[in-house]
Each structure stands twice: as structure tokens, then as C-alpha cells.
């Protein structure tokens, strides 16, 4: 079955700790994305990557970091610099032809709570 997996599903973190959220896809998609969703609000883009070894900041990148060493994987690190990290984190992927983006497909999400 092709799809996007995220782990863990739930994550608890103490203040001051860095945590890394995993995102893996086997859809052979070039582009991958990280979003954050707060209760009752829409999705906000944190980072995105259209090709391996390249990524761009989204609208709320401060306090986050990413890497894209493999096409299938796009892990997100939530650093201690992120002031309000408790949220639902969604990873997505899409095809990218170099000119056009296609529909995004989402993983099941990671719910991060800072204690």
C-alpha cells in the first residue's frame, strides 16, 4: 500500500527539549511539506522541499528545522526555540514536475504536547 507514515502518533516533550518527528512516503513524490494545525484553526506551512537536499521556509519556520537527505523522508525537528510547540503536526507530499504541483496527500499526523 502506498502512503505517508508519521511517527509517533502522540509525543510528549518537556520544555527545553528538542524532538524529531518522522515522515516517510512511498508514493515516489518529489515534494514534501510540514504543516502545523492548532485547535480550530487552519493549516500553516512550516517547511517544504521540492527535491532532495533542498528545502524552503514556510510561513512559520522559526524554531523548526528539517532535512531532506532521501526522497522518501522529511523529518522535522521542533527545537527548544519554538515558543509554543503544542500542536498537531501534519506531513504531506505531492508530485512536482518542475513546473506544476499536484494534489497533496497527508500522513496521519503527530500530536505534540509540551509538558
Partner 1 sequence: RKEVEQDPGPFNVPEGATVAFNCTYSNSASQSFFWYRQDCRKEPKLLMSVYSSGNEDGRFTAQLNRASQYISLLIRDSKLSDSATYLCVVILYNFNKFYFGSGTKLNVKP
Residue 69 gets which letter from DSSP?
Answer: S
The answer to whether the beta carbons of residues 10 and 31 sit under 8 Å apart is no
**Closer CB to partner 1, residue 85 or residue 107?**
107
**Closer CB to partner 1, residue 67 or residue 105?**
105
Compute the least distance from the CB of residue 13 to partner 1, in Å.
19
The answer to whether the beta carbons of residues 58 and 42 sit under 8 Å apart is no
Measured torsion, CA atoms of residues 48, 50, 51, 55, in degrees rounded to the nearest 10: -30
The answer to whether the beta carbons of residues 15 and 78 sit under 8 Å apart is no
**Closer CB to partner 1, residue 18 or residue 38?**
38
Compute the least distance from the CB of residue 41 to partner 1, in Å.
6
User: Which positions touch partner 1 (CB under 8 A)?
Assistant: 33, 35, 40-43, 45, 50, 88, 90, 96, 99-101, 103-109, 111
**Closer CB to partner 1, residue 80 or residue 104?**
104
Amino acid at each position: 500500500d502506498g502512503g505517508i507514515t508519521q511517527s509517533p502518533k502522540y509525543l510528549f516533550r518537556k520544555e527545553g527539549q528538542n524532538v524529531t518527528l518522522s515522515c516517510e512516503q512511498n508514493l515516489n513524490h518529489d515534494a514534501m511539506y510540514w504543516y502545523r494545525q492548532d485547535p480550530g484553526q487552519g493549516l500553516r506551512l512550516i517547511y517544504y522541499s521540492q527535491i532532495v537536499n533542498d528545502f524552503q521556509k514556510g510561513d512559520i519556520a522559526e524554531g523548526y528545522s528539517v532535512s531532506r537527505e532521501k526522497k522518501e523522508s522529511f523529518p522535522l525537528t521542533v527545537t527548544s526555540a519554538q515558543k509554543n510547540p503544542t500542536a498537531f503536526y501534519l506531513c504531506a507530499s505531492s508530485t512536482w514536475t518542475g513546473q506544476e504541483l499536484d494534489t497533496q496527500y497527508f500522513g496521519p499526523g503527530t500530536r505534540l504536547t509540551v509538558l
